[in-house]
Structure 1
Amino acid sequence: MSSSNIYLGLDIGSVSAKLIALLPRTADPSLSEALRNSNLFVYTENLSYYSLFASKVVKILGDPIGSAQRLLECFIETIEPSDKIHLQVTGSQGKQIAELLNVPFINEFKAISRGVAELVPDARTVLEIGGNASRFIKIAFDPTTKELSILDYERNGECAAGTGSFIDQQAARLRFNVEDIGRLVKETDATANIAGRCSVFAKSDMVHAQQRGYSPGAIFKGLCEAVVRNYKGTVLRQKELLPKVVFVGGVAANLGVIEAMNRILDLTSDELIVPSLHCHVGALGCAILAESSRLKAELVKNMKYRYHQKITPLSRSHKLEISLVRFPKEKSLNSKLIQNDRPIKAYLGLDIGSVSTNLVLLDQQGRVIDEIYTTTEGRPVEVVQRELNKWNHKWADQIEIIGVGTTGSGRELIGELVGADAIHDEITAHKTGASFVAETLFNEQVETIFEIGGQDSKFIAIENGVVVDFAMNEACAAGTGSFLEEQATKLG
Structure 2
Amino acid sequence: MGNVSAVDVGIDVGSTTTKICALDAKSNNLLHTSYERHGARQAESVRAALNSLARLFPRASIRLALTGSGAAPIADKLGVPFVQEVVANACAVQALYPRTRCAIELGGQDAKMIFFRANETTGALDVADMRMNGSCAGGTGAFIDEIASVLNLPIEQFDAAACRGRTVYDISGRCGVYAKTDIQPLLNQGASRDDLALSAFHAIAKQTLGGLAQGIDVRPPIIFEGGPLTFNPTLISVFKERLNLADDQVIVPDHPETMVARGAALSLSSMFADAPATIDPAAAAQTLVGFTSADDDHAPGKPFFETAAERKAFARRNQLPEEPHGPESAAAKAHMRNGRLRVWLGIDSGSTTTKLALVADDGQLIDSFYANNEGDPLEVARRALVRLRDRYAAAGITLDIAGVGTTGYGELLFNRALHADYHTV
| TM norm. shorter chain > 0.5 | yes
Residue 187 (structure 1) aligned to one of 164, 172, 175: 164
1:240-279 matched pairs, under 5 angstroms: 240-253=217-230, 254-279=232-257
Q: CA deviation at 1:24?
A: 5.0
For the structure 1 residues 172 and 312, does the alpha-carbon distance in structure 2 shift closer, same or farther, using more than 3 Å as the test?
A: farther
Instruction: State whether structure 2 residue 245 is matched by structure 1 residue 294.
Output: no
**What corresponds to 2:43 in structure 1?**
65
**What corresponds to 2:11 in structure 1?**
10
One-letter code aligned to 1:455:
D
DSSP 3-state at the match of 2:245: coil
Report the Cα distance in structure 1 between the residues aligned to 2:398 and 2:300, rounded to whole angstroms. Answer: 46
Instruction: State whether structure 2 residue 203 is matched by structure 1 residue 216.
Output: no
Deviations 1:337-381 (Å, cap 9, x if unpaired)?
xxxxxxxxxxxxxxxxxxxxxxxxxxxxxxxxxxxxxxxxxxxxx
One-letter code aligned to 1:299:
A
Report the Cα distance in structure 2 between the residues aligned to 1:229 and 1:289, rounded to whole angstroms. Answer: 32
Q: CA deviation at 1:8?
A: 0.4
Residue 392 (structure 2) aligned to one of 460, 463, 467: 463
Instruction: State whether structure 2 residue 77 is matched by structure 1 residue 92.
Output: no
**What corresponds to 1:236 in structure 2?**
213
**What corresponds to 1:175 in structure 2?**
152
Q: Does the Cα contact within 8 Å between 1:7 and 1:87 map onto a contact in 2?
A: yes
DSSP 3-state at the match of 1:75: helix
Q: CA deviation at 1:451?
A: 6.7
Report the Cα distance in structure 1 between the residues aligned to 2:84 and 2:63, rounded to whole angstroms. Answer: 17
Report the Cα distance in structure 2 between the residues aligned to 1:468 and 1:68, rounded to whole angstroms. Answer: 59
Q: Does the Cα contact within 8 Å between 2:21 and 2:34 map onto a contact in 1?
A: no
One-letter code aligned to 2:278:
R
Cα RMSD over matched residues? Answer: 3.3
Deviations 1:216-269 (Å, cap 9, x if unpaired)?
011111111111111111101221223321011112121332122012122223
Report the Cα distance in structure 2 between the residues aligned to 1:117 and 1:175, rounded to whole angstroms. Answer: 40
Q: Does the Cα contact within 8 Å between 2:165 and 2:196 map onto a contact in 1?
A: no
Report the Cα distance in structure 2 between the residues aligned to 1:120 and 1:476, rounded to whole angstroms. Answer: 38
Q: Does the Cα contact within 8 Å between 1:114 and 1:148 map onto a contact in 2?
A: no
Report the Cα distance in structure 2 between the residues aligned to 1:177 and 1:258, rounded to whole angstroms. Answer: 20
Q: Does the Cα contact within 8 Å between 1:87 and 1:295 map onto a contact in 2?
A: yes
Deviations 1:136-189 (Å, cap 9, x if unpaired)?
1122579xx995521221111222111111111111232213332222222232
One-letter code aligned to 2:236:
I
1:390-429 matched pairs, under 5 angstroms: none
1:301-380 matched pairs, under 5 angstroms: 301-305=286-290, 308=295, 310=297
1:131-146 matched pairs, under 5 angstroms: 131-140=108-117
Q: CA deviation at 1:4?
A: 3.1
**What corresponds to 1:101 in structure 2?**
78
Residue 160 (structure 1) aligned to one of 132, 137, 155: 137
Instruction: State whether structure 2 residue 31 is matched by structure 1 residue 110.
Output: no
DSSP 3-state at the match of 1:463: helix
DSSP 3-state at the match of 1:279: helix
| Identity between Structure 1 and Structure 2 (%) | 24
Q: Does the Cα contact within 8 Å between 2:50 and 2:284 map onto a contact in 1?
A: no
Report the Cα distance in structure 2 between the residues aligned to 1:162 and 1:16, rounded to whole angstroms. Answer: 17
- Structure 2 stretches of 5 or more lacking a match? 309-366, 411-425
**What corresponds to 2:341 in structure 1?**
none
Q: Does the Cα contact within 8 Å between 2:222 and 2:249 map onto a contact in 1?
A: yes
Q: CA deviation at 1:69?
A: 1.0
Q: Which has the higher contact order (CA 8 A, sep 6+)?
A: 2
Q: CA deviation at 1:304?
A: 3.7
Q: CA deviation at 1:468?
A: 5.2
Report the Cα distance in structure 1 between the residues aligned to 2:290 and 2:207, rounded to whole angstroms. Answer: 41
Report the Cα distance in structure 2 between the residues aligned to 1:156 and 1:450, rounded to whole angstroms. Answer: 26
Q: CA deviation at 1:88?
A: 0.7
For the structure 1 residues 191 and 467, does the alpha-carbon distance in structure 2 shift closer, same or farther, using more than 3 Å as the test?
A: farther
Residue 283 (structure 1) aligned to one of 254, 257, 261: 261
TM-score norm. by structure 2 comes to 0.67
**What corresponds to 2:23 in structure 1?**
22
For the structure 1 residues 115 and 22, does the alpha-carbon distance in structure 2 shift closer, same or farther, using more than 3 Å as the test?
A: same
TM-score norm. by structure 1 comes to 0.59
One-letter code aligned to 1:60:
H
- Structure 1 stretches of 5 or more lacking a match? 26-48, 319-446, 478-492
Report the Cα distance in structure 2 between the residues aligned to 1:267 and 1:85, rounded to whole angstroms. Answer: 41
Report the Cα distance in structure 1 between the residues aligned to 2:208 and 2:237, rounded to whole angstroms. Answer: 14
